[in-house]
Structure 1
């Protein structure tokens, strides 16, 4: 029995195949703590999202404004068929019901002045804003004859104006719309959809014989976060936005005019222009207005660097870093005939895994670059000193140090790239493969 154990021990110690199998097995085992690191990154990222949502909900969520819209009630005759089970006769009756038509403005001009602020909760940070906006424009003559609604059927004394908005809680002023010569106070109205409705009292002016455009204007001050968007309800919609936020993300269609767009360290200016021909809805609706949120455009107020995303991308290269580092030690072992115990391979692998936990924890309190340098330098120094004790001398520990430093530098470059990440990564892996093939060309693989 002891002789068999001795033979097996010698085979494990001297066989190239046995050493490769052991390193391969240990690499698979090290995937377990690496997976736990990825779970940790996901958990911290989810926690960040939760805290940001809590901050935003107390200040004001994203803002999407659709309006103003004229709500026009009219009388409509409805036929009803009633079946009498006794006489087995179907009777037709006609009754008058009140329906609603909706008229969108011909011209809509929006000027938004947005002051952004950063809000912190513990180690997490969110961007919120306060926006002062003015809306102006005009409605066309109220005429629905092409939709078979007679002028006499319109209830002119019941016409009202409404504005639809996603963040009713964020409004910070008393809403009042000037329509023609009237000042209309706005009050909220219950609505089950995503957009809340604020509606005016009925108009006092009778526009039955009006043939000229009906002008409007109003001001709104609102707290929000994440984004500020508008639905282009006008036949011609113009939006101008100024803000002190330095990293806007423009969203929706159309995008801002490139000729007037200006983004700098102190903020940005952007102008949009949209026409009816650019969108897929008309200026008049009967009975209800469809959900037009998908036509909204505007600006996302985002923090440009998400450390958790970068840490997650970095951890995806963990298998490559651990595998190549263990391969370097294996090649050194084969070339130098120095025996490296499986336990020592495990210690090296765990040190490499610790890089990612250090990276995520330090990046929560500092920049990603500083966290990467500290984590990488710490692990690099630890493994270099450990390999000095294992491999003796200075030549092989220096080789390990240079190899690991090159790997970390290569991965950092890939993380910073977006459009060329795949190209640079493929070329880098090809170079690494060529180096390994060159370094292993003189190894005697027959010693098994």
Structure 2
């Protein structure tokens, strides 16, 4: 009889012990982290799928555009004295070996006016922003200076001089390119360039009347090009001025230089921006001899952003999943401890699974509507399901209302944190401090003596 009483008392202790309940709740929270990790993987997988579709759309329409030029390219001769020993004459024969190298001269002035007409292209549930840029490029070349390299005038091959324009996206060009140089017109044609980060368009050999031998020569070029996401320029002019207008309302100005804040305008109808970059602001010279270096680090321009990234917000929401589960379980535990109502571990598990379903609902609904609508629908569904289930467990409308209000406040709190950027940490810290204070006040009523 004594053994049966001991067994009964031990079994009763397991059911009523607050410590045992806390351990069981903690174990269940750790177990529910497994489905949460799978949900995070699902969100990342859908995000990668979106990136793949966007890249495919952009490749067919036209990738980002980086424009670089026009550049005056003039070949010149380099003389090398080569000595060979002649056994017959017992002396050295000297030979003048001539090699051809190229000098590259950037414009004295470079003015670019770009009008960007943007739109969104979609495939299935995914979207990408693309654009058509109508650009007017004008400027001038001054007389090249070969004296810095001690190149004789006779070694300059003026008759083989050309002008080249470099771009990362030849596929997107939608107009025949005619470079006006002085009074002459020159068509630009593709030229293969090995180990180059841009594609090269080059004119035929320039006429003597188009060469800036003594006087400044003006140039102009009209360019219509399809691109996606970004449009950038490298400031190769001694003075580079870029004026940009667009109907896209969510620009991100990036690169090595930002537009003039006094003239920059952003509205719901689009944006306007102007840049002015001087040679002294750059890290490279105005002319190069031998080959062009990689100067794309000096590029600047605009990135057209899709305002809302649903997957990024869903992933941020999922990071708070363990907090939602832990706090909800804590609410149930406090109710159980204070009211002496027995809650089975299986019932805790059901509540936890209902909470994890919030994130699958959120990601699936947000793919077909806005994040706000998806969050509201998923949150309302989970709050309703959990509160109705708590009514069946706790047998009280008062506790049901408390559970519903707690979950609604928690989801609203997390939504506010997701929307904030600069103040997310501050608001989150204050919110968690208030939650901790509330729990400490409620937990005072728990009787720990029977443990």
Q: TM (normalized to structure 2)?
A: 0.95
Match of 1:165 in 2: 167
Are 2:440 and 1:416 aligned? no
Equivalent position to 1:225, from 221, 224, 228: 228
Match of 1:314 in 2: 317
Are 2:204 and 1:204 aligned? no
Task: Indicate conservation of the 8 Å contact 1:172/1:221, yes or no.
Answer: yes
Separation (CA, whole Å) in 2 of partners of 1:82 and 1:52: 62
Report SS of the residue matched to 1:18: helix
Separation (CA, whole Å) in 1 of partners of 2:105 and 2:141: 8
Are 2:410 and 1:402 aligned? no
Deviation string 1:139-196 (CA, Å, 9 cap, x unpaired) is 1112211221122110010000000100010001111101112211111011232200
Match of 1:29 in 2: 31
Deviation string 1:169-226 (CA, Å, 9 cap, x unpaired) is 0001111101112211111011232200011101011677832211110101000001
Separation (CA, whole Å) in 2 of partners of 1:83 and 1:402: 99
Match of 1:179 in 2: 181
Equivalent position to 1:53, from 48, 52, 55: 55
Separation (CA, whole Å) in 2 of partners of 1:273 and 1:444: 72
Separation (CA, whole Å) in 1 of partners of 2:152 and 2:118: 49
Task: Indicate conservation of the 8 Å contact 1:156/1:207, yes or no.
Answer: no
Match of 2:46 in 1: 44
Report SS of the residue matched to 1:42: helix
Measured at CA, do residues 332 and 258 of structure 1 come closer, stay the same or move farther in structure 2, by a change above 3 Å?
Answer: same
Separation (CA, whole Å) in 1 of partners of 2:255 and 2:151: 35
Deviation string 1:313-371 (CA, Å, 9 cap, x unpaired) is 11101111100000000110000100000000000000000000000000000000000
What pairs up with 1:298-447 in 2 under 5 angstroms?
A: 298-447=301-450
Measured at CA, do residues 190 and 336 of structure 1 come closer, stay the same or move farther in structure 2, by a change above 3 Å?
Answer: same
Task: Indicate conservation of the 8 Å contact 2:181/2:210, yes or no.
Answer: no
Deviation of 1:442 (Å): 2.1
Task: Indicate conservation of the 8 Å contact 1:111/1:135, yes or no.
Answer: yes
Separation (CA, whole Å) in 1 of partners of 2:157 and 2:308: 55
Separation (CA, whole Å) in 1 of partners of 2:92 and 2:402: 97
Separation (CA, whole Å) in 1 of partners of 2:351 and 2:366: 23
Deviation of 1:261 (Å): 1.1
Measured at CA, do residues 90 and 119 of structure 1 come closer, stay the same or move farther in structure 2, by a change above 3 Å?
Answer: farther
Task: Indicate conservation of the 8 Å contact 1:72/1:155, yes or no.
Answer: yes
Separation (CA, whole Å) in 2 of partners of 1:79 and 1:380: 87
Task: Indicate conservation of the 8 Å contact 2:141/2:212, yes or no.
Answer: no
Report SS of the residue matched to 2:308: coil
Task: Indicate conservation of the 8 Å contact 1:156/1:206, yes or no.
Answer: no
Separation (CA, whole Å) in 2 of partners of 1:434 and 1:303: 40
Deviation string 1:215-264 (CA, Å, 9 cap, x unpaired) is 11010100000100110000100001111111111111321111111111
Separation (CA, whole Å) in 2 of partners of 1:56 and 1:284: 34
Separation (CA, whole Å) in 2 of partners of 1:231 and 1:446: 75
Task: Indicate conservation of the 8 Å contact 2:61/2:130, yes or no.
Answer: yes
Match of 1:237 in 2: 240
Match of 2:272 in 1: 269
Task: Indicate conservation of the 8 Å contact 1:106/1:138, yes or no.
Answer: yes
Separation (CA, whole Å) in 2 of partners of 1:333 and 1:140: 86
Equivalent position to 2:17, from 11, 15, 18: 15
Measured at CA, do residues 399 and 238 of structure 1 come closer, stay the same or move farther in structure 2, by a change above 3 Å?
Answer: same
Deviation of 1:446 (Å): 2.2
Separation (CA, whole Å) in 2 of partners of 1:402 and 1:312: 24
Q: TM (normalized to structure 1)?
A: 0.96
Task: Indicate conservation of the 8 Å contact 2:108/2:141, yes or no.
Answer: yes
Task: Indicate conservation of the 8 Å contact 2:182/2:210, yes or no.
Answer: no
Task: Indicate conservation of the 8 Å contact 2:238/2:278, yes or no.
Answer: yes
Task: Indicate conservation of the 8 Å contact 1:151/1:208, yes or no.
Answer: no
Report SS of the residue matched to 1:440: helix
Match of 1:116 in 2: 118
Task: Indicate conservation of the 8 Å contact 2:142/2:212, yes or no.
Answer: no
